[in-house]
Structure formats: C-alpha cells, structure tokens
A and B are shown apart, each in its own frame.
Chain A
C-alpha cells in the first residue's frame, strides 16, 4: 500500500524558514517523480515543485522559484522541501504527491502538513 506522510509544518514568522519532509512507502520511491502541491485556506490547489527520481532535475512554480528548494534522499525514501523567506501568502497545507510515469497524473497524495506564516 502506497503511503505518503508529511511532517515539518508549523507557525513561522515572515522571513523565516522551514523544512518539510515526506516519508514514502509501498512503492519503488527512486523510480518516480515526486511533487509538492499546496492549498491555501479555503483556496484551490497550486503545484509548487517537482523532482526527478534521481534528484538530478528539479522544477519550480514561478511563485516560489529562488525561495524553495526541493530535494530527496532515496536511501531514506524521503522527499524534502526547504522553504525560505516565507511570506504570508505561503500559508497553506502542503501535500506531497507521487506522479505516475505514463500519463503524469498525481496518483497518490499525503494528508498534508500545515505551514502558517504570521507574526
């Protein structure tokens, strides 16, 4: 059974930093592109970042480029998102999602970890 478990969220002041983690199990982690998708309170879904199976290629939405860094440790089956220079508009529930290889849909999602940016 595929499981994705996010952690690392919390309350942080504007300009602060956090590192989110996503522990994966139930599939060959290193084989798949993984992504982070966020959802602000009461709002829709926004793709944030993606990373290739090897970790050699990374992708970012323009809204987070230069502030967020995605990475993975395939030996630990764990995905990370380093978020710096946090702004109020980064307040959201952050989901990690597994991207299927053939049609590129997000076929499995975690339950999310909440990041709140406030002074």
Chain B
C-alpha cells in the first residue's frame, strides 16, 4: 500500500533519455518534504542515487537528475547505458502516516 506511485516499468535504447515519475499527495511531496531516489541493481541492496530532490551523492554520474514540482517528482536518466538496468524507488516522508514512504518502484530496461 505505497502512497507514492511510480510506473511499473520504463524502457529505452542505449543513449536515449528516460524519465520516471513519482506521484504523491498533500501529506508527503506536496507538503514540502524532500524526495530521494534509490537504485537497486539485481540482487543487491538499494543505493542512494539522488537526495533532496535534485542532488547527486559523490560518485553518481551526472546522467542522473531529479526534479520536484507540486505533489510529484521525477528522475531522469540521459544517455541510457546497459548498466542502468535496475529498479528505481522514490522516497519521502508522510505526515499523515508519521513515517517514511517509498514509491512502488520502476524497473528500467535497456533495449
């Protein structure tokens, strides 16, 4: 029962640009809470990809970028590479639930 909704899957050819949406509500993203993004490669733990809406930790390529507007956020991957095949999750805080919430997750496939 995730409160942040993501598309189940997106795909693109190598070199293309793909975007993943994360739709929330007035008690989480719309309330001004930051959105973070995680990449989970097959069989591994999640790894922080974007923090505080649009910031990249050191070591994360600048092909990854984030944005936030209203009750939604987006993750963009430009110059798609085979190594980007993974599951991606958004995450924020929800004041109604008094806890952290994750998105439903999106599987990125490189064609």
Contact surface of A with B, Cβ cutoff 8 Å: 35, 37, 44-47, 50, 59-62, 95, 100, 102-112
> Is the contact region of chain A dominated by helix, strand, or loop, or is it mixed?
strand
Output the least CB separation between A83 and chain B (Å): 17
Output the least CB separation between B36 and chain A (Å): 4
Number of interface residues of B (CB under 8 A): 25
> Is the contact region of chain B dominated by helix, strand, or loop, or is it mixed?
strand
Q: Nearest CB to that of A59 among chain B residues?
A: B99
Q: Which of B44, B91, B104 has the most CB of A within 10 A?
A: B91
Q: Restricting to B84-99, which residues have a CB under 8 Å from any CB of A?
A: 89, 91, 93, 97-99
Decide: A35 near B45, CB < 8 A? Known: A100-B51, A107-B51: no
Closest 5 CB pairs of A and B: A47-B100, A103-B52, A105-B51, A105-B36, A45-B102
Number of A-B residue pairs at CB separation under 8 A: 63
Whether the pair B103, A105 counts as a contact (CB closer than 8 A) is no
Whether the pair A44, B48 counts as a contact (CB closer than 8 A) is no
Contact surface of B with A, Cβ cutoff 8 Å: 2, 34, 36, 38, 44-48, 51-52, 55, 57, 89, 91, 93, 97-105
**What are 9 A-B pairs with beta-carbon distances under 8 A?**
A45-B89, A45-B102, A95-B45, A102-B52, A105-B52, A106-B38, A107-B51, A107-B57, A110-B45
Q: Nearest CB to that of B36 among chain A residues?
A: A105
Whether the pair A44, B47 counts as a contact (CB closer than 8 A) is no
Q: Nearest CB to that of B44 among chain A residues?
A: A111
Complex: how many Å from CA A116 to CA B43?
A: 17
Q: B105 touches which one: A44, A50, A110 (CB < 8 A)?
A: A44
Whether the pair A103, B102 counts as a contact (CB closer than 8 A) is no
